[in-house]
Each structure stands twice: as C-alpha cells, then as structure tokens.
Structure 1
Amino acid sequence: MPSPFTSLRSRLARAGDFGRRKSSALRGLPPLHDLLELTARVGYGARGFVYLSVGLLTLLGAVDFAGDAVSARGALAWLADTPFGRLWMMAVGIGLCAFVMWRVLQSVFDADHQGTSLEGLSQRMAQAFSGSSYAILAFTAFHFMARKPETTKAADVEASRERAQTVMSLPLGDEILMAAGAALFTLGLVTIRRAWHEDFTEYLACSAKTSRRVAPLARAGYVARGLAYLPLAILIILAGWNSRSSQVSSFGSALDAVERQPGGAWVLAAAALGFMAFGVFSFIEARFRRIRPPRDLNPL
C-alpha cells in the first residue's frame, strides 16, 4: 500500500500533467522533477553570490580599501544601497528561497539519501539548520527590497546585545547564553573538521580531474566558515559567564576584533579568501552537483 507521501507526490505530478494538457501557457513548463532540479541549482548559485560578496567586502576591509568585515546581512545591506539595489534584493531573495526549498527536500525528505542512521540524521539536522539560517537571510533580502536598510554595524551590535539581554533575563538565562555560545563554538569546530574529512566532490557530476581541482575550494571555504564562528562564540560565552550582555557582538564586529590583533589583518584576509572560495565552489555545485529530488515525500 503506497504511503500518503507517495500519493501526495503522485497527485502533484498528475496535476502538473493535467495543467500542461489543458493550458498552452503551462505546456512549456518542465516536469516536477526538472523544476526541483532547477530550483536547487538556482539556490546554490544564490548562496555562491552571497558568500562571494561577503568575501570580497571583507577582503577590501582587511586591506583598508573600504569598510570593515561584514556578515551576510551586511553584504545584503551594501548591495541594497547600490544602483538597482531592489532588483538585486529580489533576485537574491528568490534564489535563497529556492535554496531553502532544496534544504527542506534534503533534510526532511532525504533527497541526498543520507538515511536514518546516526550519521545520516546528523547530516540532515545540519541541513535543516542551514535552511533556517538561509530562510532568515531571504527574509532580510525581501525586507531590504521593500525598505532600504538604515542599520549600521553599531545598530547590529546593539540588536545582538538586546537579544542577549532578553535571554539573560530568563531563568538560568546566563547558562542558556553560555550554552548557545558553546553550541556555536562546536558548530565552528565541526565545520572545520568537515573541511578535512568530507569528500565534497562526492555529489559532483564532473571528471575526476575537475573534482581534484575544485575540492580545495570547498575545504578552504569550510575552514574559513568554521573559524569565523569562533570569535563570536567566545564573546557570547564570556557574556553569559560574566552576566554582561555588553560583551556580545555581531558577526562582523567579532571579525573586526580579530583584525585589531597582531597579524589580524592577514588572518581576516585569509578568511575573506576562504569565503570567496566557498562562493566559487557553490557556483560549481550549481553547475555540476547531482540533484536527485526524492521519489516520494516520505521523511523516512
């Protein structure tokens, strides 16, 4: 007996076929499987664009050419203030929504066939967390499309401190804040570990020679992402330990603090290059990744 998830996907496919038969406007639309693949590729491209922008702006800040280190939100704010900023935000927002949809298919419906083993479930949980963060970023892009960003880095820091103060006002709030910082620190370490232990070319449909050439881009990107989490995580832990929300900072400000240390500009420049490498690898995934939409909408 087919599961209700299988029936749902079959109904969606039949509805698409019926619409194409009845409407000439819908006749040119590809099948559901191809639409899901296109959605995933657009999503990877949007992710690549965001990371490439973050890396470029951070690199310019590291060499004192323009501004400071920025987060993904900061990069969107900068793009929103450029000519055609609203068009940029619409394109990025739609692309990120496409990537969120693909993350849902990966995490909930196991599009990558990770299974329900402990390792597979942990991978799917990581994909779900990633999807939620990109959903927030997509909302930010649409918000900037409707209303030009007026926030500064100081305002971002103040908003982070207000959220920290809200957490600290709860019962065991200091401990909760410390746990959140520890979780972020652990995420950074896990991301760095993935850089050395994961085969990032496993899902690429390209030659072995091309895979060997692009794998270092993914490893550099994951190392940069993992290291970037650590300064902010430490500040959050210290804020909870000392019961001082004023010690909490934003992602960009935490990287600025790294830059102010001896040799920090070189570290920040290396991180920026890593972000850019991850952006380029995301474009490669948009082109070569094996996209395998689930055959049925069954979480198990």
Structure 2
Amino acid sequence: MPSPLSSLRVRLADLGDRGRRHSSLLRRVPPLHDLLELAARVGYGARGFVYLSVGCLILLSAVDVVGDAVGTKGALDWLVLRPLGRLWVFLIGLGLAAFVLWRVLQSVFDADHEGVSGHGLRTRMSQGFSGLSYAGLAFAAFSLLVRAPDGDPAQEGVVRSQEQAATVLSLPFGNWLLAGVGLMILGIGVSNVVKAWREDFTEYLACSPRTCRRVAPLARAGHIARGLAYLPLAILVILAGLRSSARDVTSFGSALEAVERQPGGPWILMATALGFVAFGAFSFIEARFRRIRPPRDLKLD
C-alpha cells in the first residue's frame, strides 16, 4: 500500500504534467529538483554572506574601527542601516528562507540520504534545529524591513536578550528554564567544536581531491570559532538563570566584548573573527561545490 507521501508525490507529478501540457509558460519552468538545487545553493551563499559580515564586524571591533562586536542578528541590524541596506537585508532574508527550505528537505525528507541509523538520525535532528535557528534569522531580517533599529545594534541586542530572559524568568520554574537555555547554548558550542574534529567536511563536495584538501581547514576553523564563541554567552545565561537575574544576560556580541577585556582578549577576538570569516568562505564553497540531491519523495519529473 503506497504511503501518503508517495500518493501526494504521484498527484503532484500528475498535476505538473497536465499543467505543462496546457501551458507554454509552465513548460519553461525548470524541473523541481533543479529549483530545489538552486534554492539550496542560494541558501548556502546567504549563510556565507551573513557569517562573512559577522566576522568582518568582529575583526573591525577588535581593532577599534567600529563599535562593539555583534552576532548574526546584530550584523543584519548593522547592514540595514547602510546605503541600500534594506535591499541587502531583503535579499539575505530570501536566501536564508531558501536555506531553511533546504534544511527541511535534509531533516524531514532525508535529502542527504543519511538514513535512520543512530548517526543518521542525529545528523538529521541537528539539521532540523539548524533550520529553526535560520528561520528565526530570516524572520529577523524581514522584520528589519518594517522597523529598522533606532540606536546602536549591539546595545539593542543586549536589551532584546534581557527582555527575552525576563519573559522566561516570569514562567513557572523560570530560573531553571533559563539555566536550561544556557546549557543548550553550551551544548551547541561544544558540538560545533567536536564536529570540527570528527566531521569529514569534504564528503558532500563535488570537487577534486586537491581542492577538497585545501578547503577542509576553512570548515574546521569555522566550526571551532563558532563553538568557542558560544561558550561565554552560555556561561552568562546559566549564571543568570541560577541567580534569577535577567540583567546578567547579554547578547552574543557583548559576550565576545567581555572576552576582549580579558588578558589576551583582543587576540582571541581576532582569532574568532577570522574563524567566522573562514566559515563564511566555506559556505560559499558549499554553494558552488556541494552535492545537492533532491529527496526521492519530492522528485516529480
């Protein structure tokens, strides 16, 4: 007996065939798997642009060219205030939405053919959580088209984080919930560092072995930088939960600023910035060379 998903696939395929037979315009539309591949590549490019922007802003902050360091949301706040900023942010939002679609196809429809083994399910679950985080970032990008930040993006990030922490603390067992959020952030950071050492980042790239060997260090440096950058924020959120104090919560960028004030902090911040730039660069490489395989249940042509 065919599954509901297979039945839906057959109906959509039949609908698409009938539409192409009766419309010359629809006959010019590329096959679905080509559209999905384009969406995925645009999404990787948008992710690369965001992290490249974050890395550059952190680097400029470390050498005191701009103000405080910012995270991904702060980078969008900064971009929207630049000339043609709304257009840039709109295009980034579209790209991130495309990337969210690709994450859904990876996690739900197993686009990478990870299977249902323990490792495969963990990978798909990680892709699903990644999709949720980028969905939030895409929503933030489109929100900026309606209301751009009025003041310093870094300070607005702190205020926004403290308001969210206060909302969590107002819930039953809110202090433990907030501490749990901090532990989740800590887990994300640690998992990125572990992934940097254990993952074969060239497995999904369709490039020559020589090129793959050259670009793999970018992915490792990027994941290490992302993982370590989460740790200061995680610690502050955990402490805020244990103390039941929303004022102890800060933003991603402000947590990095706290690191900069420590001995050797500027060098750590510069290394983090270069790691983010490396992650952005590797995202561009994925946009070009990643093997994009359409999920079997969505291949309509």
TM-score by length of 2: 0.95
Counterpart of 2:118 in structure 1 is: 118
For 2:140 and 2:232, the matched residues in 1 are separated by 24
Counterpart of 1:265 in structure 2 is: 266
Are 1:110 and 1:294, in contact at CA under 8 Å, matched by a contact in 2? yes
Q: Which runs of 5+ in 2 are unaligned?
A: none
Letter in 2 for 1:278: F
For 2:261 and 2:151, the matched residues in 1 are separated by 23
Are 2:149 and 2:156, in contact at CA under 8 Å, matched by a contact in 1? no
Counterpart of 2:40 in structure 1 is: 40
* Superposition map of 1:142-157 within 5 A: 142-152=142-152, 153-157=154-158
| Bigger shift: residues 200-209 or 239-248 | 239-248
* Superposition map of 1:86-165 within 5 A: 86-152=86-152, 153-165=154-166
For 2:3 and 2:18, the matched residues in 1 are separated by 22
What SS does the corresponding residue of 1:261 show, helix, strand or coil?
coil
Instruction: Give the C-alpha shift of residue 66 in structure 1.
Output: 1.5
For 1:50 and 1:174, the matched residues in 2 are separated by 32
Counterpart of 1:182 in structure 2 is: 183
Q: Deviations over 1:245-283 (max 9, x none)?
A: 111101111111111111111101111111110111001
Q: Deviations over 1:107-164 (max 9, x none)?
A: 1111111112222111111111111111111111111123322253223212211221
Does the C-alpha gap of structure 1 residues 209 and 179 become closer, same or farther in structure 2, counting only changes over 3 Å?
same
Counterpart of 1:65 in structure 2 is: 65
Counterpart of 1:52 in structure 2 is: 52
For 1:81 and 1:151, the matched residues in 2 are separated by 10
Say if 2:276 is the partner of 1:275. Answer: yes
Are 1:13 and 1:31, in contact at CA under 8 Å, matched by a contact in 2? no
Counterpart of 1:15 in structure 2 is: 15
For 1:18 and 1:262, the matched residues in 2 are separated by 68
Q: Which runs of 5+ in 1 are unaligned?
A: none
Instruction: Give the C-alpha shift of residue 25 in structure 1.
Output: 2.5
Are 2:205 and 2:290, in contact at CA under 8 Å, matched by a contact in 1? yes
- Number of aligned positions between the proteins: 298
Q: Deviations over 1:159-193 (max 9, x none)?
A: 21122122222222211111111121121111100
Q: Deviations over 1:183-207 (max 9, x none)?
A: 2112111110000000000000111
Counterpart of 1:78 in structure 2 is: 78
Letter in 2 for 1:32: L
Percent pairwise identity: 66
Instruction: Give the C-alpha shift of residue 297 in structure 1.
Output: 5.3
Counterpart of 2:200 in structure 1 is: 199
What stretches of structure 1 move > 4 A for 4+ residues in a row?
none
Counterpart of 1:295 in structure 2 is: 296
Letter in 2 for 1:173: G
Letter in 2 for 1:98: A
Letter in 1 for 2:103: R
Instruction: Give the C-alpha shift of residue 4 in structure 1.
Output: 1.5
For 2:273 and 2:17, the matched residues in 1 are separated by 47
For 2:73 and 2:185, the matched residues in 1 are separated by 18
